[in-house]
Amino acid sequence: MPTLTPLPDRDWARVLCVVAHPDDMEYGASAAVATWVERGIEVGYLLLTGGEAGMDRPPEEIRPLRAAEQRAACEVVGVSDLTILEHPDGMLVADLDLRRDIARAIRRFRPDAVVTANFDFEAYGTLNQADHRGAGVSVVDAVRDADNTWVFRELAEQEGLAKWHTTALLVAGHDEPTHAVEVDQRAVDASVASLRSHQAYLAHVTGHPHPGEFIPELLRTGGEALGVEYAVTFRVHDLGGIADPGDADPDQ
């Protein structure tokens, strides 16, 4: 018996994915990205750090390496709009500077929905990494900031970026999802290939499971919850505009 609702994304034109590191979108969520791109939805990636502290080699060597791997991962799923900010990896701070940078990106890209990764204190079967927590909280605040005339007024007054209302915030990798996007075998394969693009990083992580084994299983579990073969699950926060008339707000 299906337990999740299909994500009402048919009328979306743009989706912005905002995460802390290279590879954060590649653990299953990239299958939804590949599906959206196939439908004609424009998807952009905003990485808040370059992931330079994620490997046991000098950061100045790792940052360009991980950027190249992320570009390859984006190419696999059809994303050409990739921005990597210079906030310090491993020391991401949920402050006004970070919120402003995210709000700026939202106003520039004008997405219907923003995607971020699970930022709960406990996530992925362990204590969540500090950058993930800081990124998620900042995304929540920045989505509102981008739609507020009086917050970060310089974005409009000095940069010409008018405020923008995002209709939905999607949290990938959440233990209590509310919606799901059905994906096909092509998208599953693209998701696997997108994670494989991070070759140097995966080689560095001791005991990392094989992408071709755990990603299809993860998406198959999502599919069972939606009543299809494969699906990407999200916890969806309706910010005003995604629910069909009569639909209950998933946050109520």
Number of domains the chain contains? 1
Determine, yes or no, domain membership for 248.
no
Determine, yes or no, domain membership for 252.
no
Q: Along the 252 residues of the chain, how does pLDDT read in single tens digits?
A: 579 999 999 999 999 999 999 999 999 999 999 999 999 999 999 999 999 999 989 999 999 999 999 999 999 999 999 999 999 999 999 999 999 999 999 999 999 999 999 999 999 889 999 999 999 999 999 999 999 999 999 999 999 999 999 999 999 999 999 999 999 999 999 999 999 999 999 999 988 999 999 999 999 999 999 999 999 999 999 998 775 533 444 443
As a whole number of angstroms, the distance between CA 244 and CA 216 comes to 30
> What is the pLDDT, as a whole number, of residue 246?
37
Determine, yes or no, domain membership for 215.
yes
Determine, yes or no, domain membership for 246.
no
CATH of the domain at 64: 3.40.50.10320
> What is the pLDDT, as a whole number, of residue 1?
57
As a whole number of angstroms, the distance between CA 139 and CA 119 comes to 10
Beta strands, E only, the chain = 5-6, 14-19, 42-49, 81-87, 113-117, 122-123, 126-127, 168-172, 179-182, 231-238
DSSP bridge pairs for 179:
5, 234
Residue 225 near residue 180, CB atoms below 8 Å: yes
Determine, yes or no, domain membership for 204.
yes
Could you list the residue range(s) of the whole structural domain that residue 207 is in? 5-238
Residue 130 near residue 98, CB atoms below 8 Å: no
> What is the pLDDT, as a whole number, of residue 249?
43
> What is the pLDDT, as a whole number, of residue 248?
42
Residue 28 near residue 219, CB atoms below 8 Å: yes
